[in-house]
């Protein structure tokens, strides 16, 4: 029960972080936002060290490094996929692969799901597709490159869950901190490379930093904090569970992150949710209840 609550909470918080990151990316390059948010996320995780501890064992460092690399690759491939194909198809496809990759790994590892849990997981995956469905008026066509890129990006996001699951139980926030450092460094390097290719950067202000508006700064900071908290929820959900089914359950719940994004878009930006998305939200919570009772 607690594992399901933490997993669902992590998904909603992830969605809120994505919403704020999306707002900031309207004014700043998306990869720059992702790199800055990753760096900001180190602050709340560092603050959590005195509270829950951090044991930097070999297992914790390896798992954190895997999470950081997997997350960085996933973010970059997702941006690439959405640049070459329709978001209405590729975004749900990414979420589905993010949900299914750890499930497949768990099943291949011998995990056996009850019938009720299996039904709930299928409903949850369907909910992921429906909630992530968005209108796309760009006219972009679905291509093999776009589909493969989105699928690999989804597997990358699923890899984060697998890495957190592999972290030692006594790691505390060590794995999260290592993953966040790796992600900040990798995405930061890509952001610098992209800026260099775009020509010289115009520096302003007494400290010679690019001038960002206050709302952009607030959005990036909030995105980084919420993303770090979501990761903490997912790792906690994986390690408070007592059964073999914890990994596939948390993985699918984690993929429900579009709920937070679309709900905030409706409340803040007045974007109307479609009937399909409302159906997905209802199915998502029904699946969460089913998983909690299974």
Question: Domain ranges in the chain?
Answer: 2-293
Whether the predicted pLDDT of 35 surpasses 60: yes
Neighbours of 205 (CB within 10 A): 8
Average pLDDT over residues 256-275: 82
Separation CA 136–CA 170 (nearest Å): 45
Separation CA 60–CA 76 (nearest Å): 24
- 286: exposed, middle or buried (Cβ count in 10 Å: 0-12, 13-18, 19+): middle
Reported confidence tier of residue 205, pLDDT bands at 50, 70, 90: very low
Tokens 């699923």 -> residue: 158
How does the average pLDDT of the chain come out, rounded?
Answer: 86
38 Cβ contact list (under 8 Å, min separation 6): 180, 183, 184, 187, 188, 224, 227
What pLDDT, on a 0 to 100 scale, did the predictor assign at position 200? Answer: 57
Give the global pTM. 0.86
Whether the predicted pLDDT of 129 surpasses 90: no
Q: How many CA atoms lie within 13 A of 219 on its CB side?
A: 20
Average pLDDT over residues 205-234: 82
Separation CA 89–CA 109 (nearest Å): 30
Separation CA 286–CA 35 (nearest Å): 35
User: pLDDT exceeding 70 applies to what percent of the chain?
Assistant: 91
Whether the predicted pLDDT of 202 surpasses 80: no
What pLDDT, on a 0 to 100 scale, did the predictor assign at position 180? Answer: 96
Q: Name residue 204's beta-bridge partners.
A: 209
What pLDDT, on a 0 to 100 scale, did the predictor assign at position 190? Answer: 92
What pLDDT, on a 0 to 100 scale, did the predictor assign at position 194? Answer: 82
Separation CA 291–CA 114 (nearest Å): 10
Whether the predicted pLDDT of 207 surpasses 70: no
One-letter-per-residue 3-state SS of the chain? CHHHHHHHHHHHHHHHHHHHHHHHCCCCCHHHHHHHHHHHCHHHHHHCHHHHCECCCHHHHHHHHHHHHHHHHHHHHHHHHHHHCCHHHHHHHHHHHHHHHHHHHHHHCCCCCCHHHHHHHHHHHHHHHHHHCCCCCCCCCCCHHHHHHHHHHHHHHHHHHHHHHHCCCCCECHHHHHHHHHHHHHHHHHHHHHHHHCCCCCCECCCCECCCCHHHHHHHHHHHHHHHHHHHHHHHHHHHCCCCCHHHHHHHHHCCCHHHHHHHHHHHCCCCCCHHHHHHHHHHHHHHHHHHHC
What pLDDT, on a 0 to 100 scale, did the predictor assign at position 234? Answer: 94
Q: Name residue 54's beta-bridge partners.
A: 172
Separation CA 294–CA 287 (nearest Å): 10
What pLDDT, on a 0 to 100 scale, did the predictor assign at position 73? Answer: 94
Average pLDDT over residues 259-277: 82
pLDDT tens track for 139-194: 567 788 888 988 999 999 999 999 999 999 889 999 999 999 999 999 999 988 88
Separation CA 150–CA 82 (nearest Å): 8
């Amino acid at each position: 029960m607690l594992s399901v609550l933490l997993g669902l909470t992590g998904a909603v918080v992830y969605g809120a972080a994505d919403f704020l990151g999306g707002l900031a990316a309207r004014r700043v390059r998306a990869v720059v936002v992702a790199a800055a948010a990753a760096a900001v996320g180190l602050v709340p995780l560092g603050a959590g060290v005195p509270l829950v501890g951090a044991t930097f064992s070999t297992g914790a460092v390896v798992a954190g490094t895997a999470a950081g690399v997997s997350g960085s690759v996933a973010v970059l491939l997702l941006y690439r996929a959405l640049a070459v194909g329709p978001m209405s198809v590729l975004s749900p496809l990414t979420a589905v692969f993010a949900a299914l990759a750890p499930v497949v790994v768990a099943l291949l590892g011998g995990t056996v799901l009850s019938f009720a849990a299996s039904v709930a997981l299928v409903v949850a995956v369907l909910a992921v597709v429906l909630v992530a469905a968005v209108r796309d008026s760009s006219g972009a066509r679905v291509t093999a490159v776009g589909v493969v890129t989105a699928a690999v990006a989804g597997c990358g996001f699923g890899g984060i869950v697998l890495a957190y699951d592999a972290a030692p139980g006594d790691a505390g926030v060590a794995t999260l901190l290592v993953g966040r450092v790796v992600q900040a460094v990798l995405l930061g390097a890509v952001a610098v490379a992209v800026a260099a290719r775009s020509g010289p950067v115009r520096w302003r202000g007494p400290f010679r930093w690019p001038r960002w508006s206050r709302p952009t700064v607030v959005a990036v900071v909030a995105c980084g904090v919420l993303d770090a908290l979501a990761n903490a929820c997912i790792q906690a959900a994986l390690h408070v569970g007592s059964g073999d089914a914890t990994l596939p359950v948390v993985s699918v719940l984690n993929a429900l992150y579009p709920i937070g994004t679309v709900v905030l878009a409706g409340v803040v930006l007045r974007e109307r949710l479609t009937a399909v998305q409302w159906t997905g939200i209802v199915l998502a919570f029904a699946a969460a209840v089913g998983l909690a009772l299974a």
